[in-house]
Amino acid sequence: MSRAVSDTPIRRSSDTSQFKSVGKNPPRKESREKVTGKAKYIDDLTFEGCLYGKTVRSTIPRGKIKKITFEPGVPWEEFTVVTAKDIPGKNVVALIEMDQPFLVETEIRHMAEPIALIAHPDKGLVEKALTKVRVEYEELPAIFTIDESLSGRNIQRGRDNVFKKYHIQKGDPAPVFSRPAIVVIEGEYWTGPQEQLYIEPNGVAAVATPDGVTVWGSMQCPFYVQKGLKPLFNLPDDKIRVIYCVTGGGFGGKEEYPTLPAAHAALLSWKAGGRPVKIIYDRMEDMWATTKRHPCRTRVKTAFAKDGKLLALQVDATMDGGAYLTLSSVVLSRGTLHAFGPYACDHVTIDTRAVFTNSPPYGAFRGFGAPQTIFPLELHMDRAADRLGIEPHELRLKNILHKGDTMATGQKMEDEMDIEGILKKAMTESRYLEKRKSHREHNRTASPVKKGIGLSLFFHGAGFTGSGEVFLDSRAGLEITPAGTVRILTANTEIGQGSFTTHSQIVAEALRIPYEMIEVAPPDTAVVPNSGPTVASRTCMIVGELLRRAADDLRDLLIRSSGLSNNGYGPDEFRRAASAHAEKNGVTRVYAKYKPPAGIHWDDQTYTGSAYGAYAWACYVCDLETDLTTYQVEVKDFVAVQEVGRVIHPVIAGGQIEGGVAQALGWALYENVVLKQGVMQNTQLTNYILPTTADTPPIRVFFYENPYPNGPYGAKGLGELPMDGPAPAVASAVAFSLGGKFISSIPILPENICEILK
């Protein structure tokens, strides 16, 4: 089942021979430490006198705490116990809104909500003690679905249970639907929750005293943790230090969530007089209690001319946000801004909302709302193609955006783009037309194995939405070491995506020195500037560009002050100049600050303007078989063609695409979060099913390169893109294999196919 590298070519379209580092595949900066086992993950760190902390969590979805009893059976006098009463500052997570407590005071709003904390030096005894904490409740009626939330019968948030709404208006679709000689198509679609399932569960360690708090942990965003902890302890920035440890994956699941365990460990340490406290979730706790991808229900209504021209588009999407806002408003924003797809249409409305339910808060997950709205639109295009009697690819070709067209937000397509070329390339690579024909013929035979092929066309906006990057106001820096090498200073974490490596390539290229002369400072809030979170496909494109600019300034500085030649230099000359500079001036750091690219304007009030500075474009094709004996789907071939600006490290970029496709195939075909009272039941890897390599097809990756003027050497973001396209391509192909039965929700489990065919 293993695949030879030659079976899955990563091919690219551009020539990068003018570069020395960019476009090459140097060994990853952190790989030697990881493969030799030297890398220290949080649970590998040892602390003298360490206590092990556990979280007492609610076992009802909503209600009031009447009493907490610590039953006999363990020596409670040896334990450190924390409840909301022990909190020195504000009991609220500082994120977008201050609405989520670190520990419940009286009212529980979801299952698995933290109520109390216990810690002891004996790990096993803490486990036993956890079973001896009894919480008595007064239960209150809870809501678990979008419909229940919107019914108005049980309002728990604001006036209507709605966390946030968005509206995009372009032209006026309403009158178009009553025009004569048009085809109106409506559909409702559903995408389920998904667990991020990083290999390393959430884990932190903390030491907290009135003099300051230090946190070590597995995380994406050290500065988010710092911000979250400040009000909790009433301490200033410089008294809260957050140190990233080698992190075994994030996928969004370690974007906002680590603030909770970090605060919990710090509270226990505070109560224990500054003894170090570790909290490491096991897989079951991690899956039970932490965030998942937002479930989303979307209704799409379109009007087409008989020839397939898209005349009007209305999208109405509702996401389940769970019991606290956390990041739902921004997840919803990205979903809103991807709901109209890469199509030109004069009359569009997009209405979206995120609603309250008594589920643990849904959170960040690769794609961040976009996969949830791309899925319905792409399936709707298939449904329309079927109704109009037009081939799905032709319907898309008739409606795609070209340079000069405007999106639903009014953003004019100014950069060079070739969506048509991407679509056609994907069709050629996958032999799409030929297979549609041969699969149709095959499916008329008696074979119980039916074949299907489907495609999806989509984009992903890189960086923070709208004015987000301006608000972030990121800074990144470079430092000259006494040895004359260069150290990268950013808050951006290496979570398996290769950012330490791609950043080093960019800096090496800009400084015209070898990649080996660049090192990366571990993200530690006491050492690095706040270059923003490691999210939103922004690390390479936004932070990489800051580093490129800092490198330009650093080079100029050395030319001006340390005799570095303006007409080219070798590595040794650079080293000498840098080392001389460091000797003379001490530690030298050069920083660059974010500047929005010219011509980028966004209006948060009207949701018009340039939602993103850059878009990656892609077309994915999925070829699969459905076995009518078992109703199992086997993906046979997958073609992923995308335009992502310049590819900095082809192997890493290809890995991002393959990994994202595999993760999205899981979402589409296997990953079924079974909810009961709003919380996940199947919290083990034996019953929450991910595809293994045996279930994953060859993924053929093709990069179409079109350098983006505002990205480092032309790079755009690509980390989230591959999460967007696979699900609709899979659903389309499964529908094809079943002879045109329509699929409108994921995951598409064998049980669902069995049901559809009944």
Residue 687 near another protein by CB under 8 A: yes
| Shorter beta-carbon distance to another protein: residue 419 or 675 | 675
Of residues 670, 704, 708, 713, which one binds another protein by CB under 8 A? 670
Of residues 169, 481, 632, 677, which one binds another protein by CB under 8 A? 632
| Shorter beta-carbon distance to another protein: residue 123 or 593 | 123
Q: Rounded distance, CA 270 to CA 142, Å?
A: 34
Considering the complex, what minimum distance in angstroms separates the CB of residue 484 from another protein?
48
Stretch that binds another protein, among 32-40, 356-364, 376-384, 625-633 (CB under 8 A): 625-633
Of residues 147, 282, 473, 556, which one binds another protein by CB under 8 A? 282
Please give the size of the binding site for another protein, defined by CB under 8 A.
Answer: 32
Phi-psi region of 368 (alpha: psi -120 to 50; beta: other; left: phi over 0): left
| Shorter beta-carbon distance to another protein: residue 540 or 624 | 624
Residues 6+ positions from 335 with CB-CB distance below 8 Å: 294, 296, 317, 319, 352, 368, 369, 370, 372, 373
Residue reference for tokens 């020395």: 20
Q: Rounded distance, CA 669 to CA 88, Å?
A: 47
Residue 682 near another protein by CB under 8 A: yes
| Shorter beta-carbon distance to another protein: residue 697 or 712 | 697
For residue 375, the SS3 value is helix
Q: Rounded distance, CA 354 to CA 191, Å?
A: 14
The 8-class DSSP code of residue 366 comes to T
Query: What is the secondary structure of 648-678 as a DSSP string?
Result: S-HHHHHHHHHHHHHHHHHHHHT----EETT
* Side chain identity, residue 675: L
Q: Rounded distance, CA 691 to CA 286, Å?
A: 19
Considering the complex, what minimum distance in angstroms separates the CB of residue 509 from another protein?
42
Of residues 631, 638, 713, 736, which one binds another protein by CB under 8 A? 631
Considering the complex, what minimum distance in angstroms separates the CB of residue 536 from another protein?
31
Considering the complex, what minimum distance in angstroms separates the CB of residue 396 from another protein?
32
Considering the complex, what minimum distance in angstroms separates the CB of residue 438 from another protein?
25
Q: Rounded distance, CA 434 to CA 426, Å?
A: 13
Phi-psi region of 284 (alpha: psi -120 to 50; beta: other; left: phi over 0): alpha
Considering the complex, what minimum distance in angstroms separates the CB of residue 312 from another protein?
39
Residues 6+ positions from 471 with CB-CB distance below 8 Å: 464
Residue 597 near another protein by CB under 8 A: no
| Shorter beta-carbon distance to another protein: residue 423 or 635 | 635
Considering the complex, what minimum distance in angstroms separates the CB of residue 676 from another protein?
9
Q: Rounded distance, CA 10 to CA 653, Å?
A: 9
Site for another protein in 736-755 (CB under 8 A): 750-751, 754-755
Q: Are 225 and 93 in contact (CB under 8 A)?
A: no
Considering the complex, what minimum distance in angstroms separates the CB of residue 435 from another protein?
23
Q: Are 719 and 459 in contact (CB under 8 A)?
A: no
Stretch that binds another protein, among 23-31, 134-142, 196-204, 678-686 (CB under 8 A): 678-686
Residue 284 near another protein by CB under 8 A: yes
Considering the complex, what minimum distance in angstroms separates the CB of residue 631 from another protein?
7
| Shorter beta-carbon distance to another protein: residue 437 or 676 | 676
Residue 609 near another protein by CB under 8 A: no
Of residues 692, 709, 739, 741, which one binds another protein by CB under 8 A? 692
What's the N-to-C CA distance of the chain in angstroms? Answer: 33
Q: Rounded distance, CA 486 to CA 479, Å?
A: 6
Residue 389: CB atoms within 10 Å? 10
Site for another protein in 319-378 (CB under 8 A): none
* Side chain identity, residue 339: A
User: In 3-state terms, the chain is what percent helix, strand and coil (to 5)?
Assistant: 30, 25, 45
| Shorter beta-carbon distance to another protein: residue 286 or 382 | 286
Site for another protein in 123-142 (CB under 8 A): 124-125, 127-128, 131
Residue 695 near another protein by CB under 8 A: yes
Considering the complex, what minimum distance in angstroms separates the CB of residue 629 from another protein?
5
Name the residues that contact another protein, by CB under 8 A: 1, 124-125, 127-128, 131, 282, 284, 448, 628-632, 670, 674, 681-682, 684, 686-687, 689-692, 694-695, 750-751, 754-755, 758
